[in-house]
Amino acid sequence: MHYFERLKVKDALMSTVGQEDVIILGWVRTKRVSKNIAFIEVNDGSTLSNLQLVMEPDNFPVLDEINTGTSIKVVGDLVSSQGGKQAWEVVVKKLEVVGDCPTDYPLQKKRHSMEFLREIAHLRPRTNTYGVLNRFRSKLAYAVHQFYQERGFYYIHTPIITASDCEGAGEMFRITTFDLDKVPMIDGHVDFSQDFFGQETSLTVSGQLEAELLATAIGDVYTFSPTFRAENSNTSRHVAEFWMIEPEMAFCDLEENMKVIEAFLKYLCQYALDNCQEEMEFFNKWVDQSHTRIQTMENIVKSEFGIVSYTEAIKILEKADRKFDFSVEWGIDLQSEHERYLTEDHFKRPMMVIDYPKDIKAFYMRMNEDGKTVRAVDVLVPQVGEIVGGSQREERLDVLIERMKELNMTTEEIEWYLDIRRWGSVPHSGFGMGFERMLMYMSGISNIRDVIPFPRTPGNAKF
């Protein structure tokens, strides 16, 4: 048997002509048997819709062994359907069980809650919702590459194992080969010089610092990689392992960076409207309770993003007719409730907030003339909040060293980063988009644990 000779359900359903003796391989979703006729709905994961198989039950005693979840092999003729619900169906000539499926299979035909399905994340890809989400994720990942490749960006691979904390937030997962019962100590501290890399290392929180090295060598680059954060925040928007897209551009200031961000977001939305109709219709109907997902994506593509400075945003929040849990004053880090007020209630569209206070942003951001704010940009969108964070980078060696001193950072470990400011320094900028946050926004899924197949969150690394 040559498995590749099969016809995928997706291609069967999109067929323009009938075909004889097609081979269909898949899993049974439902079976209906009456005296003269039997129907099986089969799905192979290639698309949302099932393919209907029709047969006379008397000729197929194997029907008794078939349950929801059974994998089967079918040979039959693809013919235009009598029923009308679907264009094509298969009149079965041969039917075999490939792998049986006892009736205690947890995914029987009924609606399961997202919470229950998270507990069986190894099986949930087989449900309609997660099938749609996983196919959507794949298509959008392709769109990410297409956007940058079409614009002459080079795809680069930055290290997963690193000795530097790019964001300076101390949220890193440590890597070691030490026997944890016998960790070598020196002067009361762990002696990392005896560890695998001869120094303390962690999983990266961002590929940005290395992306800057590549951007100042080959121009426009982007990463699309897993990143890791040991943030102990059990929210619906944080996971400990997520995928980030980080473009970095030499000879680029904040304004140009913002243009790329806006073009990128719009491109992904347009791509979904053009190439993921099945998925977008599903989200619109079944996921987004207001049934406005498609309209929202269309609006994004059409309208301009708003731009507001952090200082103005604080003024808006201070005047808001709303009591916030976290009080508002200049200098605070915007909380999720503040971000959502700005984008959902006040501006009612995606917003770019720029020029944040230096004290709430990372060391590498370019200082503004006022000496208090930095050339940062965060993009906030309704329902999700922050979806992109970026900045123009500090390219002036003296200013950067000064800033690092203020933050009590030692320059030794990171001389390599300073070197790009020593030899032919250029203005450069970039940003990071959380891929899962973007998928949440586009699908209307409200919990980040549902847009990544195997979420990693505090207390949970199962599967």
- Part in contact with ligand 4AD (CB under 6 A); list of ranges 88-96, 120-128, 294-302, 388-396: 388-396
Number of residues binding to Mg ion, judged by CB under 5 A: 1
Q: Is 334 in the site for ligand 4AD (CB under 6 A)?
A: no
**392 alpha carbon, distance to own chain's centre:** 24
Could you tell which of Mg ion, ligand 4AD, none binds residue 430, using a CB distance below 5 to 8 A set by kind?
ligand 4AD
Do 257 and 366 contact (CB within 8 A), yes or no?
A: no
Scanning residues 190 to 219, which ones bind ligand 4AD (CB under 6 A)?
206, 208
Distance, in Å, from the CA atom of 282 to the CA atom of 47, rounded to the nearest integer, reads 12
75: number of Cβ within 10 Å: 16
Nearest to ligand 4AD of 72, 388 (CB atom): 388
Distance, in Å, from the CA atom of 398 to the CA atom of 350, rounded to the nearest integer, reads 36
- Part in contact with ligand 4AD (CB under 6 A); list of ranges 36-44, 67-75, 231-239, 318-326: 231-239
The minimum distance between CB 55 and ligand 4AD, in angstroms, equals 48
The minimum distance between CB 395 and ligand 4AD, in angstroms, equals 14
Contacts of residue 52, Cβ cutoff 8 Å, sequence gap at least 6: 39, 40, 41, 81, 83, 85, 86, 89, 90
Q: Is 436 in the site for ligand 4AD (CB under 6 A)?
A: yes
Contacts of residue 253, Cβ cutoff 8 Å, sequence gap at least 6: 375, 392, 427, 429
Scanning residues 164 to 183, which ones bind ligand 4AD (CB under 6 A)?
166-167
- Part in contact with ligand 4AD (CB under 6 A); list of ranges 16-24, 95-103, 109-117, 384-392: 384-392
Do 254 and 392 contact (CB within 8 A), yes or no?
A: yes
Q: Is 382 in the site for Mg ion (CB under 5 A)?
A: no
Q: Is 69 in the site for Mg ion (CB under 5 A)?
A: no
Closest by CA position to 53, among listed 93, 101, 105, 97 = 93
Q: Read off the amino acid at residue 2.
A: H
Nearest to Mg ion of 60, 341 (CB atom): 341
Nearest to Mg ion of 389, 427 (CB atom): 389
What is the H or E stretch that residue 32 is in? Answer: strand 19-33
Judged by CB under 5 A, the residue of 131, 389, 390, 430 near Mg ion is: 389
Contacts of residue 134, Cβ cutoff 8 Å, sequence gap at least 6: 125, 453
Question: Which residues would be at the binding site for ligand 4AD (CB under 6 A)?
Answer: 166-167, 206, 208, 229, 231, 238-239, 242, 244, 246, 386-391, 430-434, 436-437
Binding site for Mg ion (CB under 5 A): 389
